[in-house]
């Protein structure tokens, strides 16, 4: 008895689905039978970020940072690649541009996905950014930007899809938190606060919607080998690895498999939980 | 199939959550050894579990083993390796209850529950850990309980044992992670099993009311969680305590 395509006929929205963990989730959900709307952050916003960065810097001495930013600008191309991959699997996929921190953009994204799929059954709030700095040097902008995308973005997207879920008495929401939201991390006051906030949001929404057919859970990845970690210096990476009982970084697919489990009928009795996937780093 | 070519030991697999887990694991392609006390008697590993006959003959081994007795567990583990060649998965599911308020709880009631629910899991883990370390891989799932997290009136023994399982899980995930062995726990909420069959309807209604999903769980809900944590799908999940409780708060 093979259990394939348990998500047949379901429609999913994955925010930040063009790269890294989000990409792995989008592809995995499609493999399980879902049609997927792949959200990516607007290119224009990122272009503005780069211009902003250049304007604020007298001389470009932080080339790495700039290269990283320009690299991120490729997301639209990557989103299209994810879409094509999903289409080649025989599922339907669309890409939708939105800064999840902006409610009007999120509403438009929801409208586009609903117009295409007729509904949204599964929401994966994965979109996240980092703007690391020691607390003393962290600016209000860095704080606001990260809170806006990571935490308010999760609120916005949930807000946008919840009515439809309640009407149909069915919904599966998975929020991507982080081990950093559980244990904190130097230089990540904004990120840690946003990711811890996601856990509070998850638990509250689980209680509010439990008897209405909507489950809300979180996944808290440990250190996963994605672009976000590429800039971590080797000596720091060594220290990170030394703390992980399993002795290695996680893979995006290992987060995607947890999301696939949580949105499947198998996990119908699980709500309000935070599933830690960190190789034993923080337990 | 998600457990193809895997060999799993399930303690307390004769009924309830353990039996449902065994059935699901077989369905997903595993060979399954069920350790239980089999009060009805089991001869030479023959099973009569009501599973599909083919799976029962070829893929299931029923071993009479009292997990509080280290020698019995060891020989059951050896018999499993002899029959199926290896052990990939251990589900520490065996558990008993002997409820009484603390002032009335006898030493026997305390000892019996600690022996089976806590020491029994320790014994089972010790019996398989050398083998798993040699192979450099393994997945251990400990079935705890909401009673061990929140406490429950009349269950000072049971809640102590089940909380102890969480401690075992966290320590061993640290000790064994580098050896390729993952150790995780599941915390079932109120589940309809033979263990809860004797609970009065009034209490069951109260349990349902306390569960935001407004229903009691089914053994299959826990079996699915066991399957997820036991399988390679969860290969980066280590030291995790997964609640399958419908959002329950006590």
Q: Tens-digit pLDDT profile for chain B (250 aa)?
A: 999 999 999 999 999 999 999 999 999 999 999 999 987 778 778 888 999 999 999 999 999 999 999 999 999 999 999 999 999 999 999 999 999 999 999 999 999 999 999 999 999 999 999 999 999 999 999 999 999 999 989 999 999 999 999 999 999 999 999 999 999 999 999 999 988 888 889 988 998 999 999 999 999 999 999 999 999 999 999 999 999 999 987 5
CB contact under 8 A, A267 and B234: no
Which of B178, B218, B237 is the best residue to mutate to test the A interface, defined by the most A CB atoms within 10 Å of its own CB? B237
**How do beta strands A93-97 and B31-36 pair?**
unpaired
Full residue range of the structural domain in which residue B137 is found: 7-242
Distance, in Å, from the CA atom of B106 to the CA atom of B216, rounded to the nearest integer, reads 30
User: Any long-range contacts for B94-97 (C-beta under 8 Å, 24+ apart)?
Assistant: B94/B11, B94/B12, B94/B18, B94/B35, B94/B36, B94/B67, B94/B120, B94/B121, B95/B12, B95/B143, B95/B145, B95/B158, B95/B161, B95/B162, B95/B195, B97/B155, B97/B158, B97/B195
CB contact under 8 A, A1 and B27: yes
Tell me if residue B236 is catalytic: no
State the total domains in chain B: 1
Closest residue by Cα to residue B137 from B174, B70, B81, B183 = B183
CB contact under 8 A, B228 and A222: no
What's the pTM?
A: 0.87
Closest residue by Cα to residue A128 from A233, A249, A63, A39 = A39
Other beta carbons within 10 Å of B237: 27
- Shortest alpha-carbon distance between residue B151 and chain A (Å): 19
Which of B238, B245, B249 is the best residue to mutate to test the A interface, defined by the most A CB atoms within 10 Å of its own CB? B238
Distance, in Å, from the CA atom of A44 to the CA atom of B226, rounded to the nearest integer, reads 45
Distance, in Å, from the CA atom of A109 to the CA atom of A16, rounded to the nearest integer, reads 12
Q: Which two tokens stand for residue B98?
A: 């002997």
Torsion angle of the four alpha carbons B164, B189, B113, B229, in this order, in degrees rounded to the nearest 10: -60
Mean pLDDT for A191-208 is: 96
- Shortest alpha-carbon distance between residue A1 and chain B (Å): 6
The fold of A11-277 is Rossmann fold (3.40.50)
> In chain B, what residues touch A206 (CB-CB under 8 Å)?
212, 247
> In chain A, what residues touch B182 (CB-CB under 8 Å)?
246, 280
Distance, in Å, from the CA atom of A202 to the CA atom of A125, rounded to the nearest integer, reads 11
Other beta carbons within 10 Å of A57: 12
Domain assignment present for B37: yes
Strand pairing partners for A274? A218
Q: Which two tokens stand for residue A16?
A: 């930040």
Q: What is the largest CA-CA distance in chain A?
A: 64
Distance, in Å, from the CA atom of A174 to the CA atom of A199, rounded to the nearest integer, reads 11
CATH number at residue B161: 3.40.50.720
User: ipTM of the assembly?
Assistant: 0.82
Radius of gyration of chain A (CA): 18
Q: Tell me how far the alpha carbon of residue A192 is from its chain's centroid.
A: 15
Give A211's DSSP letter. G
> In chain B, what residues touch A263 (CB-CB under 8 Å)?
none
Q: Does A185 touch chain B (CB under 8 A)?
A: no
Given A215, A245, A267, which is nearest B177 (Cβ)? A245
Strand pairing partners for B138? B181
């Amino acid at each position: 008895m093979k259990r394939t395509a348990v998500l047949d006929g379901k429609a999913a929205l994955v925010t930040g689905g063009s790269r890294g963990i989000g990409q792995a989730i989008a592809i995995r959900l499609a493999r399980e039978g879902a049609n997927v709307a792949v959200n990516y952050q607007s290119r224009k916003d990122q272009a503005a970020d780069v211009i902003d960065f250049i304007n604020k810097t007298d001389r470009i001495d932080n080339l790495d940072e700039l290269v990283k930013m320009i690299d991120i600008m490729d997301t639209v191309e990557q989103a299209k690649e994810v879409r094509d991959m999903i289409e080649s699997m025989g599922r339907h996929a669309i890409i939708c541009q939105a800064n999840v921190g902006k409610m009007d953009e999120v509403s438009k994204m929801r409208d586009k996905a609903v117009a295409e799929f007729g509904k949204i059954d599964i929401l994966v709030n994965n979109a996240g950014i980092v703007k690391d700095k020691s607390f003393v040097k962290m600016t209000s902008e860095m704080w606001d930007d990260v809170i806006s995308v990571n935490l308010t973005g999760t609120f916005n997207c949930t807000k946008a899809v919840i009515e439809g879920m309640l009407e149909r008495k069915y919904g599966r929401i998975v929020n991507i938190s982080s081990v950093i939201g559980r244990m904190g991390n130097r230089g990540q006051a904004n990120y840690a606060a946003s990711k811890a906030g996601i856990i509070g949001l998850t638990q509250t929404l689980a209680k509010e919607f439990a008897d209405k057919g909507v489950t809300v859970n979180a996944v808290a990845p440990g250190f996963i080998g994605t672009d976000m970690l590429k800039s971590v210096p080797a000596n720091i990476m060594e220290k990170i690895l030394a703390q992980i009982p399993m002795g290695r970084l996680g893979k995006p697919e290992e987060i995607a498999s947890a999301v696939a489990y949580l949105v499947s009928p198998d996990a119908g009795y699980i709500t309000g939980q935070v599933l830690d996937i960190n190789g034993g780093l923080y337990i | 199939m998600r457990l193809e070519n895997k060999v799993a030991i399930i303690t307390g697999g004769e009924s309830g959550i353990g039996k449902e887990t065994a059935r699901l694991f077989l369905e997903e392609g595993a060979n399954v050894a069920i350790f239980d006390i089999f009060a009805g008697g089991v001869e030479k590993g023959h099973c009569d579990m009501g599973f599909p006959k083919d799976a029962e003959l070829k893929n299931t081994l029923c071993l009479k083993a009292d997990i509080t007795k280290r020698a019995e567990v060891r020989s059951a583990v050896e018999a499993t390796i002899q029959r199926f060649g290896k052990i990939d998965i251990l589900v520490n599911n065996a558990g008993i209850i002997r409820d009484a308020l603390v002032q009335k709880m006898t030493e026997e009631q305390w000892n019996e529950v600690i022996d089976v629910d806590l020491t029994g899991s320790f014994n089972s883990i010790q019996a398989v850990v050398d083998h798993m370390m040699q192979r450099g891989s393994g997945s251990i799932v400990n079935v705890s309980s909401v009673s061990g997290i929140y406490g429950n009136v009349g269950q000072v023994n049971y809640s102590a044992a089940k909380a102890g399982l969480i401690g075992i899980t966290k320590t061993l995930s640290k000790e064994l992670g580098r050896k390729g062995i993952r150790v995780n726990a599941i915390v079932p909420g109120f589940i309809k099993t033979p263990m809860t069959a004797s609970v009065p309807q009034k209490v069951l209604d109260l349990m349902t009311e306390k569960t935001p999903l407004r229903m009691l769980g089914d053994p299959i809900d826990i079996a699915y969680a066991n399957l997820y944590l036991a399988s390679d799908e969860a290969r980066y999940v280590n030291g995790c305590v997964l609640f399958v409780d419908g959002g329950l708060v006590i």
